[in-house]
């Protein structure tokens, strides 16, 4: 069965690449919360987008098909039920526990077109954005009075697209990230590989529900027969054992 994935080399000719164009999530970085969001500085969004677009165009000129994370997620929203499931899981992983906040935030996201909704999830939601959008929610958050500017944190690390999930052979590993800040990114991979018609049949070598961390930066495809995975702060030995067992078991079938 066609899986939409074929990756057996780090140095072979590139045919298709997944990118994330820097967006509003970078504008939502604030100096006092950089460490929380795993950043050292605040990039200039306009320049970052300019450089990104030049890079993407270089790839296209070499015959590479460029696909974007936001578009893949949008194309995974194949029904109202899938959309509702995405919103609910997003709120769970954003740490929105108060039921009134969940309902009102769900309504706020729910009235957006699909692409705007996904972009907003990635960008995060400031409390100030909700003024005039949902007075009930704005009043509720204001009453909390903790001074933190976000009701949902941004995801500024999304353009490291290999970290949350990696393609290996004809399948994919969706990772359990070391930090809670980045683990939310893997939710998008979950929906892509469960619901996107082009990729939903890909074998799963690793799943975000595992208890041991694994990140794509430690995975190296050396040849069609050899997969290297490094042990690091972000990738544990138990994770490598689980990944290896899944890949080797599938290869024997």
Q: Which domains does the chain have, with CATH numbers?
A: 78-152 (1.10.3930)
Alpha-carbon distance of 64 to 16, in angstroms, equals: 5
82 three-class SS:
helix
Residue linked to tokens 């939710």: 187
Q: What is the pLDDT along the chain (253 residues), one digit of tens a residue?
A: 789 999 999 998 999 999 999 999 999 999 898 888 888 889 999 999 999 999 999 999 999 999 999 999 999 999 999 999 999 999 999 998 888 888 888 989 999 999 999 999 999 998 888 776 656 665 666 555 567 888 899 999 999 999 999 999 999 999 999 998 899 999 999 999 999 999 999 999 999 999 999 999 999 999 999 999 999 999 999 999 999 999 999 876 6
Question: H-helix or E-strand containing 101?
Answer: helix 99-110
Structure tokens at 121: 């999830």
C-alpha distances in Å from residue 240, one per residue of 108, 162, 163, 210, 225: 40, 16, 15, 12, 16
Residue 171 DSSP SS3: strand
CA 221 → CA 8, 15, 89, 164, 230, distances in Å?
6, 16, 32, 16, 11
Q: To the nearest 10°, report the CA torsion of 96, 99, 102, 108.
A: -140
> Rounded to two decimals, what is the model's pTM?
0.92
SS3 68: strand
DSSP character string of 7-28: B--SSS---EEEE----HHHHT
């Amino acid at each position: 069965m066609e899986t939409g994935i074929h990756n057996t080399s780090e140095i072979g000719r590139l045919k298709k690449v997944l990118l994330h164009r820097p967006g509003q999530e970078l504008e939502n970085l604030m100096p006092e919360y950089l460490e929380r969001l795993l950043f050292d500085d605040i990039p200039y969004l306009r320049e970052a987008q300019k450089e990104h677009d030049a890079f993407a165009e270089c790839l296209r000129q070499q015959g590479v098909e460029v696909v974007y994370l936001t578009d893949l997620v949008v194309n995974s929203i194949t029904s109202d039920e899938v959309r509702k499931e995405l919103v609910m899981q997003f709120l769970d992983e954003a740490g929105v526990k108060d039921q009134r906040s969940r309902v009102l935030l769900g309504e706020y996201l729910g009235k957006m077109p699909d692409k705007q909704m996904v972009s907003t999830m990635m960008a995060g939601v400031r409390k100030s954005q909700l003024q005039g959008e949902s007075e009930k929610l704005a009043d509720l958050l204001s009453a909390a009075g903790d001074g933190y500017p976000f009701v949902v944190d941004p995801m500024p690390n999304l353009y490291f697209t290999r970290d949350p999930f990696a393609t290996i052979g004809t399948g994919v590993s969706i990772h359990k990230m070391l930090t809670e800040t980045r683990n939310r990114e893997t939710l998008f991979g979950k929906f892509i590989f469960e619901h996107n018609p082009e990729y939903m049949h890909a074998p799963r070598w690793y799943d975000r529900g595992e208890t041991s961390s694994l990140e794509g930066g430690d995975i190296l495809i050396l040849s069609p027969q050899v997969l290297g995975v490094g042990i690091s702060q972000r990738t544990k030995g138990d994770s490598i054992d689980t990944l290896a067992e899944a890949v080797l078991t599938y290869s024997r079938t």
